[in-house]
Amino acid sequence: MITVTVCSPRSDLTQMWDDLVVRASPNVFMSPAALRAAQNTMFAVIHVLCAWDTGIDSQKLIGLWALQERQIFPLWPSFLEALPFEYAFLSSPVIDPAYSNEVMAAFFTAIRTNRQLPNVVSLKQLDGEAPSYKAMQQVIADGGHRVLRLSESLRPVASPETGVKKSGSTRKKLRQDWNRLAALGAVDIVNARDAKLAVQDFETFLALEMQSWKGAEGTALLCNARDARFVRDMFAGLAVQGNASVAMLRLDGRAIAAQVLLYCGTTAYTWKTAFDAEFAKFSPGTLLIDKVTEELFANGGITAIDSCSAEGGFMGNLWTGRRTMVDMLVDVSPQWSASFAMEASRQIGRERLRHLRDRVRGLSWLQPGRKSPRLAAPQ
C-alpha cells in the first residue's frame, strides 16, 4: 500500500533519501540537506511530500517531492512551485521507477486533498526525459487535469559515453588556451571533497563571483545577505555528506576560476561558476569545466553531469549531450479554478516579456562598439 505524508523538511529522512537516489533519477535540489537549509534560513516555505510503501516488514521511502509555496503579490492566489527554492535548477520529483505511476498519482491526490496546500503547481525546469515525467503526463491525462504547457528547451548534459566533444575547433582552442595560460606559471586543478576544505573553497568562489561582472551588476550571491546566508548553509550541509565541492583552476596557487559542484547519486551538477576577469582571454571557466568533466568520469562513481544551464551557455559548446526540459502549469483541483486562470495569465505574460527582452538584448549587442561582459568569458 502507498501512502503520502506532507511535512516540513526533516533531518531523519537522510538515510532513506540516500537509499532512494540509488534506485531513482536523482535531483540534488530535493536533498533533505538543501531543503533544511532553506527552512532554517527562512529562505522558502517548503512542503515535502513523501511517498511510502507500507509493506508488511517495514516502511520504505519510494518518492519525495519538495514544493515551495509562493505568493507573488498581496491578494494574489498562492501556488506551489516545484523548484523548491531560488537557485534550484530541477523540479522533477524523485521516485522509485518501480512505483512511478502510483506515486505520481498519490502525490497529486495528496495535494488536492490537503486543505493547507494550493492546488496550482508550477513546474519549471522539469526533466522531460525522466520516468517521473512520463508518469506525470499519464496522471494528468487520466485525471483530466488542466495544464498549460509554456515551453520546451534543451539543457547541455554529459556522460562517459556521449556528450563530450573529442575533437574540432573547440577542442583545439582549449589546448591553445591551456598552453598560453601554462606559459604564465604553474597551472593546476584542485577539487577537495573534504567538508572543511570544501567550505573554505566555497568562500573563494563567493569572492571571485563578487569581483566579477555579477558583483558589479548586483547579482552575485554576496550582494544579498539573505541569499548568501542560505547558500552557505546549503553548501555546508551538502559538503558534510560529501555532496558538494568547489573545483578550482589555479595559476601559481591563485584561484582564477571556480566551479561549484553538487552531487546526488551518480550525477554531478555544475551549479555555479566564477572566474577572474583578468584572465578572461584564456577562457578559464571553460578550461576548468573541460578538465573537471574528464576527472569526474575518470574517478568513477559519476555517470552523468547536469549543466544546470540553458543550451546557449558555454557548456553547450563543450558537450554535445542534450536533455529536454519542460515548463508547465498544472491544476490538480477537481473543478475549474480561478487561481489557475490567474496564474496561467501571469506566466503567459511573463514568457512573452522574456522573449521580448531577449530579442531587444540581441539587437543591442549588434550595435558597433558594444560588448556584453558575459561574452568576454564563459559564465
Domains assigned to the chain: 2-152+325-363 (3.40.630.30), 169-318 (3.40.630.30)
- Which residues fall within 8 angstroms of residue 66, CB to CB, at 6 or more apart? 9, 29, 30, 35, 46, 47, 48, 49, 84
| Cα-to-chain-centroid distance, residue 246 | 16
pLDDT digits (tens, 9 = 90+) for 335-366: 888 999 999 999 999 888 888 887 787 665 55
In tens, the pLDDT along 199-253 reads 999 999 999 999 999 999 999 999 999 999 999 999 999 999 999 999 999 999 9
pLDDT over 70, % of the chain: 94
pTM here is 0.91
Question: What is the pLDDT averaged over residues 69-90?
Answer: 95
pLDDT band at 68 (very low <50, low <70, confident <90, very high): very high
Cell of 203: 568562500
Among positive and negative, which fits the CA dihedral 207, 209, 211, 214? Answer: negative
Q: Strand 244-251 to strand 59-70: parallel, antiparallel, or no bridges (unpaired)? A: unpaired
pLDDT tens-digit profile of 248-296?
999 999 999 999 999 999 999 999 999 999 999 999 999 999 999 999 9
What type of residue is 329?
L
Query: What's the confidence (pLDDT) of residue 364?
Result: 55
Indicate if the pLDDT at residue 370 is higher than 50: no
| pLDDT one-digit tens code per residue, 133-166 | 999 999 999 999 999 999 999 999 999 988 787 7
Dihedral, CA of residue 17, residue 22, residue 26 and residue 30, to nearest 10: 0
pLDDT of residue 312: 82
pLDDT (mean) for 173-181: 95
Specify the DSSP element, H or E, that contains 146: strand 146-158
